[in-house]
Amino acid sequence: MRQAGRYLPAYQAVRAKVDFQELYKTPALAAEVTAQPVEILSFDAAILFSDILVIPEAMGMKLEFSEGKGPRFPQPLRGADDIGRLHHPKIEVELDFVLEAIRLTRQRLAGAVPLIGFCGSPWTLATYMVEGGGSKEFANIKSLMFGQPQLLHSLLENVTAALVDYLNAQIRAGVHAVQIFDSWGYVLAPDDYEEFSLRYTSRLIAGLKRNGVPVIYFLRGRGCGLKKLAASGADVLSLDWTIDLAEARQQIEDRVALQGNLDPIALLATPEVARAQTKKILAKMVGASGHIFNLGHGILPNTPVENVQAVISAVKE
Amino acid sequence: MRQAGRYLPAYQAVRAKVDFQELYKTPALAAEVTAQPVEILSFDAAILFSDILVIPEAMGMKLEFSEGKGPRFPQPLRGADDIGRLHHPKIEVELDFVLEAIRLTRQRLAGAVPLIGFCGSPWTLATYMVEGGGSKEFANIKSLMFGQPQLLHSLLENVTAALVDYLNAQIRAGVHAVQIFDSWGYVLAPDDYEEFSLRYTSRLIAGLKRNGVPVIYFLRGRGCGLKKLAASGADVLSLDWTIDLAEARQQIEDRVALQGNLDPIALLATPEVARAQTKKILAKMVGASGHIFNLGHGILPNTPVENVQAVISAVKE
C-alpha cells in the first residue's frame, strides 16, 4: 500500500523537515522514503512515494495540502466551463519530478526488489476533482453522474487520456509494475460502477505499452461482479478485507492473481494479534495460485513498527 | 428509511420548536412526524420516528446530541469495567416514550397504512458504544474485536438481550413490522461479520415473539454471502445500492423478500432524474416476487419534495 513509510521513525524524520507536497516533489527525498521500508523492514517490493493528485494538478487544478485535513482543490469542477478549462498534461515536463524519483529509486534499490508505480483510477480522480476533497455523501460527483452523464463521460475521457501518458512514462522511467487505485468506486451501484469506473480503468490498461510490466487494480468493496473486474485486463486484483479471498479465488479464473487483504486495524494491537490475523489470510490461499499478501488498505500512521515486523515474519515463514 | 420526514417543511416546523432528542422523547410529537410523510405524500407505510441509541442510553450510557455533529457518547466503553457497569434496561419503564409513540401513531394512522418499528443491530449499537460516535477507521471497536474478542462477545450478548425485550415490547405496543438496522456491519471482513454481527442479529430475530410480524434486516454493503444473510430468519433483506437487486434475487431463495435500493443522491437533481433512476430499479425486479421499493439508505435533508413525489408516482404507476 502506498505511503507505507508513514509509521516509520525514519520517514517521520524526513517529514519533520519538509511538508508532504515538498516531499513528493523533491525526487531525492521521494526516493529516500520509497526505499526506507525495504531497507529497514525487508519488504519484497517498494512502492513509489507520490500522490494520485499530481494528475489533476498537472491538468490545471490548484491543489492545497493542510496538516491533518488532507489534500483539497479549493476550486472544484462544477460545470462544463470548469471541465473545459483543463488541459492535457505534458508528463515529461510537468511531472518530471515523479519520473526522476523513479530513476533515483531504481539506482538506490540497485535491483534488490521491484519498484511499483501507481496512479488513481479515472473515477477516483474525477471524484476528487468534482468534490474538491474527501466526502461523506459524494453528492456533487453523483449529481453530475445522474444529471449530466455525458459531461462526466467527457471528464473521465480526458483524465483517462492523461493517465495513459502518465503510466506509460512511469514504465519508460523504470517501474517494474503499476498499481491503479480505485479508492472511491465503492460508492457506486454495480451498473454505474461498470459505466463510470470499470470502463475507464479498462481503457487505461488497454492504452499501456506494458513490455511485460504487470498491472495491479486496487479497489475497495466489490465494485461489480468479480468476473467483470477480472476481465479489466489487469494481472492482479487487489481487494480490501470486506471480500473473502478464498471466495474470490473460486469466482475468477487463475490468470488473474489476488492481492490483499488484511484489515490495517489488525496491526494496531499486539504482534501476536497481527501475526494471527496474517496467518488467517494466508490460510485462505493455501494451495491457490497467485497471491500477493498485502494490507486491504493503507497502513495507519500510529501502527507500531514491531507489529509490521510480525506480519512480515509471518508471511516470510 | 427512518426519519423520512426531515426533508419536509412540516417536519422542519416541528423541529424549529424542539431539539432532536426532545422530539423523539415526546410521544405526541414523535407520532406527528411519523405520520407526516404518509399524510402529505401518501407513502405505503410509516416508520416510527425514534433513534437507535435509546437502547445504549437505557443501558446506562450518557448520550449527547449537538446540532450538525450528530449523537455522541462522551464516555465511550473502553474496557471490561465500562462494559460491566451497563445494566439490562426495563423497557416498559425506561423506554415507555417509544411505546407510547407507537400507540399514538397507530391511533393517528387509524389503519390506513402499516407502522414499522425498528432498532439498531447488536454490532451497530456496540460500535456506537465503543467508538462514542461516528468513525472513519473504527479503530476502537475493531481493536477490541481483534485483541479481546471474548469481551466484545459479552457486550454483544448484553445488547442483544436488551434488543429482544425492546422489539418484543414494540410488537406488543402495535407495530406491524420491525426493521433491524445494521448500518456499520460493512466495515468488517466476511468471517468477522458472521461472528460479530450476523450471529447476534440472527439471535435477536430468533428471540422475537413475532405473531406474524415480519422482520426486515437492513445492511450496507454485502456483510457476507447473501445466502447466509437470507438464513438469518429475516423475512426481508433491505440492501443498499451497491448490490444489484436482480443478482441478489438470483442468489437467494424466494422465501426472503428484497427491499431497496435507490441511491438517495438520485433524488437531489430533478424529478425526471429521480423518476428515471426509480424505473431502473423497478425494471430489475419485473417478474420477481417480493420487492419492497425503498431507498438504499436514509434520505438527505436537502432533497426537494417534488423529487420524492416523482419517486412515489413512478412506483405507484
Q: List, for residues B144-195, the tens digit of each pLDDT value.
A: 999 999 999 999 999 999 999 999 999 999 999 999 999 999 999 999 999 9
Q: Which residues contact A227 (CB under 8 A, 6 or more apart)?
A: A251, A252
Residue owning grid cell 460527483: A141
Interface test with B, best of A195, A229, A265 (most B CBs within 10 A): A265
All structural domains of chain B, each given as residue ranges with its CATH number in brackets, are 4-234 (3.20.20.210)
Across the interface, whether the CB atoms of B268 and A139 are under 8 A apart is answered yes
- Look at residue A302 and give its three-state secondary structure: coil
Active site residues per annotation of A: 2, 6, 15, 51, 128
Whether A284 contacts chain B with CB within 8 A:
no
Q: List, for residues A40-89, the tens digit of each pLDDT value.
A: 999 999 999 999 999 999 999 999 988 777 899 999 999 999 999 999 99
| Cα pseudo-dihedral B41, B44, B46, B51, rounded to 10 | -90
Q: Are A265 and B139 in contact (CB under 8 A)?
A: yes
CA of A294 vs chain B CAs: smallest distance (Å): 15
Whether A186 contacts chain B with CB within 8 A:
yes
The mean-pLDDT minimum among A288-292, A302-306, B268-272 falls in: A288-292
Answer yes or no: is pLDDT of A189 > 70: yes
- Percent with pLDDT over 90 in chain B: 92
Q: List, for residues B278-307, the tens digit of each pLDDT value.
A: 999 999 998 888 999 999 999 999 999 999
CA-based nearest residue in chain A for residue B187: A242
Helix (H) or strand (E) segment spanning residue B146? helix B139-147
Residue owning grid cell 476533497: A133
Give, to the nearest 10 degrees, the angle between helix B122-131 and helix B149-173.
120
DSSP state of B299: P
Whether A212 contacts chain B with CB within 8 A:
no
Q: List, for residues A19-50, the tens digit of each pLDDT value.
A: 999 999 999 999 999 999 999 999 999 999 99
Sort A228 into a burial class: Cβ within 10 Å, 0-12 / 13-18 / 19+: middle
CA-based nearest residue in chain B for residue A303: B139
Query: Would you call B128 a catalytic residue per the annotation?
Result: yes
Question: ∠ CA B96-B98-B103 to the nearest 5 degrees?
Answer: 90
The pLDDT-based confidence of A3 (bands split at 50, 70, 90) is: low
Query: Would you call B51 a catalytic residue per the annotation?
Result: yes
Query: Would you call B254 a catalytic residue per the annotation?
Result: no
How far, rounded to the nearest angstrom, does the alpha carbon of residue A2 sit from its chain's CA centroid?
Answer: 6
Residue owning grid cell 471497536: B141
Answer yes or no: is pLDDT of B68 > 90: no
Q: Is B290 left (phi over 0), alpha (psi -120 to 50) or beta?
A: left
Query: Which residue spans within chain B are E strands per DSSP?
Result: 46-47, 64-66, 70-72, 115-120, 177-182, 215-219, 236-239, 257-262, 291-295
Complex-level ipTM beyond the 0.90 threshold:
yes
Q: List, for residues B106-153, the tens digit of each pLDDT value.
A: 999 999 999 999 999 999 999 999 999 988 899 999 999 999 999 999
CB pairs under 8 A between A and B: 86
- Percent with pLDDT over 90 in chain A: 92
Residues of chain B with C-beta less than 8 angstroms from the C-beta of A273? 146-147
CA of B139 vs chain A CAs: smallest distance (Å): 6
The pLDDT-based confidence of B253 (bands split at 50, 70, 90) is: confident
Task: Point out which residues pair with A237 in neighbouring strands.
Answer: A217, A258
Whether A242 contacts chain B with CB within 8 A:
yes
Task: Point out which residues pair with B217 in neighbouring strands.
Answer: B180, B237
Whether A269 contacts chain B with CB within 8 A:
yes
Whether B53 contacts chain A with CB within 8 A:
no
Average pLDDT over residues A197-223: 96
Whether B247 contacts chain A with CB within 8 A:
yes
Side-chain half-sphere CA neighbours of B270 within 13 A: 8
Q: How far apart are CA B181 and CA B250, in angstroms?
A: 24
Answer yes or no: is pLDDT of B67 > 90: no
In single-letter form, the type of residue at position A229 comes to L
Interface test with A, best of B186, B242, B282 (most A CBs within 10 A): B242
Q: Are A112 and A38 in contact (CB under 8 A)?
A: yes
Answer yes or no: is pLDDT of B2 > 70: no
Task: Record the cell numbers describing residue B135, joined without a space.
Answer: 468513525
Whether A249 contacts chain B with CB within 8 A:
no
Task: Record the cell numbers describing residue B217, joined without a space.
Answer: 434486516
CA of B260 vs chain A CAs: smallest distance (Å): 12
Mean per-residue pLDDT over chain A, rounded: 95
Q: Which residues contact B269 (CB under 8 A, 6 or more apart)?
A: A143, A146, A147, B307
Query: Would you call B24 a catalytic residue per the annotation?
Result: no
Q: What is the DSSP string of A68-123?
A: TTEEE-SS---SHHHHHT-----HHHHTHHHHHHHHHHHHHHTTSS-EEEEEE-HH
Q: How far apart are CA A185 and CA B271, in angstroms?
A: 26
- Percent with pLDDT over 70 in chain B: 99
Sort A250 into a burial class: Cβ within 10 Å, 0-12 / 13-18 / 19+: exposed
Sort A30 into a burial class: Cβ within 10 Å, 0-12 / 13-18 / 19+: buried
Average pLDDT over residues B11-18: 95
Residues of chain A with C-beta less than 8 angstroms from the C-beta of B265? 137-139, 142-143, 146
**What is the reported pLDDT for B70?**
82
Answer yes or no: is pLDDT of A255 > 90: no
**What is the reported pLDDT for A2?**
64
Q: List, for residues A266-282, the tens digit of each pLDDT value.
A: 999 999 999 999 999 99
Q: List, for residues A155-172, the tens digit of each pLDDT value.
A: 999 999 999 999 999 999
Residue owning grid cell 453528492: A139
Query: Would you call B6 a catalytic residue per the annotation?
Result: yes
Helix (H) or strand (E) segment spanning residue A239? strand A236-239
CA-based nearest residue in chain A for residue B274: A146
The pLDDT-based confidence of B48 (bands split at 50, 70, 90) is: very high
Average pLDDT over residues B237-249: 96
CA-based nearest residue in chain B for residue A240: B189
Q: Are B261 and B239 in contact (CB under 8 A)?
A: yes
Answer yes or no: is pLDDT of B4 > 70: no
Residues of chain A with C-beta less than 8 angstroms from the C-beta of B189? 241-242, 244, 261, 263
Task: Record the cell numbers describing residue A135, joined without a space.
Answer: 466526502
Answer yes or no: is pLDDT of B74 > 80: yes
The pLDDT-based confidence of A4 (bands split at 50, 70, 90) is: low
